[in-house]
Amino acid sequence: MTTHARIPGVFSPVLTPFDETYRPALGRYVKHCRWLREQAVGLAIFGTNSEANSLSVPEKHSLLDALLEAGVEPAALMPGTGACALPDAIDLTRHAVRSGSMGVLVLPPFYYKGVSDEGLFRYYAELIEGVGDDALRMYLYHIPPVSQVPLSLDLIERLLGRYPGIVAGVKDSGGDWNNTAAMIERFAPRGFQVYAGSEAFLLQTLRAGGVGCITATGNVNPGPIVALQQRWQEADADARQAGLNATRNVFQQFPMIPAMKAAIAWKSGDPAWATVRPPLVELNAAQTAALKTALDDNGFDMPGASALADA
């Protein structure tokens, strides 16, 4: 497979396929990751759309190890290692760093709401000190619509001051462009890498000085997203962005994780891909039919998706 030594500008929070007993399906998982890498997409395994908070710590260890054993290059990996329990976050982060992963994506502890910046600073500081490895590169994960625990600009400032280099960047999934722009303006001059949390903000992010996006639909529409990230200074960039928005808007009409898995099941010819782990449920027949019609009307395709089917 093709390798890409530099840090990718587009990452996908990789979907986790499950078998009929809701165990991770390693064969499908490795095939999907290889397919994404062939299109220069980085692998943000154990992200929101990976159903990461429905996976155990041992399962995450096993999935990461399976990718390494399959020859997926660690320089393309950004495992999600945040957890409500600090010892779990330290364990997962140590494992990722020792694997050679280029970085880790770290949610705040999200169960308790209304926590202070001081509490969040202590969490991230204890995580960094607990890992105790200068090779650690931490990307903060700001997703207040889901976590209900925002990461303020002042918190990021404090973490950068204490741990320059180690605190390497952020995924901003807040949905507020003004916040993303403020992160870029305030921190990017220090080498802090700002990724938008959706390709809907990709062109704006790149024009402002950010580095790219970490986006759910990178799982199903990787080629066009990477093309914009690589060719954003060309004359057709706005048209490319409009095309990405149209595809994303289709998926956003449905529960996103089941919809993306349904699309892979359809395009790969492998119906088992549609399985999600409870408490999520698959799209029903009417939803699946509506999704296919809308995607067909939009000219959607997944070149090479037949490779994602489990033999």
142: pLDDT strictly greater than 90: yes
For residue 111, give Cα distances in angstroms to 53, 171, 294: 12, 20, 36
Which tokens go with 209? Answer: 């000085």
214 annotated to a ligand binding site: yes
Q: Is residue 79 part of a domain?
A: yes
Which tokens go with 229? Answer: 């990230």
Tell me the average pLDDT across 198-206.
Answer: 98
Q: Is residue 289 part of a domain?
A: no
302: pLDDT strictly greater than 70: yes
Percent of the chain with pLDDT over 70: 98
pLDDT of residue 116: 98
172: pLDDT strictly greater than 50: yes
Tell me the average pLDDT across 152-165.
Answer: 98
CATH classification at residue 41: 3.20.20.70
8: pLDDT strictly greater than 80: yes
Active site residue 113: no
Q: Is residue 161 part of a domain?
A: yes
Which tokens go with 35? Answer: 């397919």
Q: Which of 141, 195, 261, 267 is catalytic?
A: 141
Which tokens go with 152? Answer: 């303020």
Q: Is residue 258 part of a domain?
A: no
Q: Is residue 271 part of a domain?
A: no
247: pLDDT strictly greater than 80: yes
Q: Which of 171, 195, 261, 267 is catalytic?
A: 171
Query: What is the DSSP pairing of strand 167-172 with strand 193-196?
Result: parallel
Tell me the average pLDDT across 186-202.
Answer: 98
What's the rounded Cα separation, in Å, for the pair 273 and 165? 39
Tell me the average pLDDT across 224-228.
Answer: 98
Q: What HEC string does the chain produce?
A: CCCCCCCCCEEECCCCCECCCCCECHHHHHHHHHHHHHCCCEECCCCHHHCHHHCCHHHHHHHHHHHHHCCCCHHHECCECCCCCHHHHHHHHHHHHHHCCCCEEECCCCCCCCCCHHHHHHHHHHHHHHHCCCCCCEEEEECHHHHCCCCCHHHHHHHHHHCECCEEEEEECCCCHHHHHHHHHHHHHHCCEEEECCHHHHHHHHHHCCCEEECHHHHCCHHHHHHHHHCCCCCCHHHHHHHHHHHHHHHCCCCHHHHHHHHHHHHHCCHHHHCCCCCCCCCCHHHHHHHHHHHHHCCCCCCCHHHHCCC
pLDDT of residue 2: 31
- Radius of gyration of the chain from its Cα atoms, rounded to whole angstroms: 18
Output phi, psi for 172, to 5 deg: -100, 100
**Residue 3: band (very low, low, confident or very high) from pLDDT cuts 50, 70, 90:** very low
Q: How many domains does the chain have?
A: 1
Q: Is residue 144 part of a domain?
A: yes
Q: Can you say how many angstroms the Cα of residue 81 is from the centroid of all Cα atoms in its chain?
A: 12
Active site residue 261: no
Q: Is residue 306 part of a domain?
A: no
Half-sphere exposure of 44 (CA within 13 A, CB side): 32
pLDDT of residue 61: 98
pLDDT of residue 5: 43
Q: Which residues pair with 139 in a beta bridge?
A: 105, 169
Q: Structural domain of residue 124, as residue ranges?
A: 10-236
Mean model confidence pLDDT for the chain:
96
**Residue 311: band (very low, low, confident or very high) from pLDDT cuts 50, 70, 90:** low
Q: How many CB atoms lie within 10 A of CB 170?
A: 27
Q: Is residue 311 part of a domain?
A: no
pLDDT of residue 6: 72
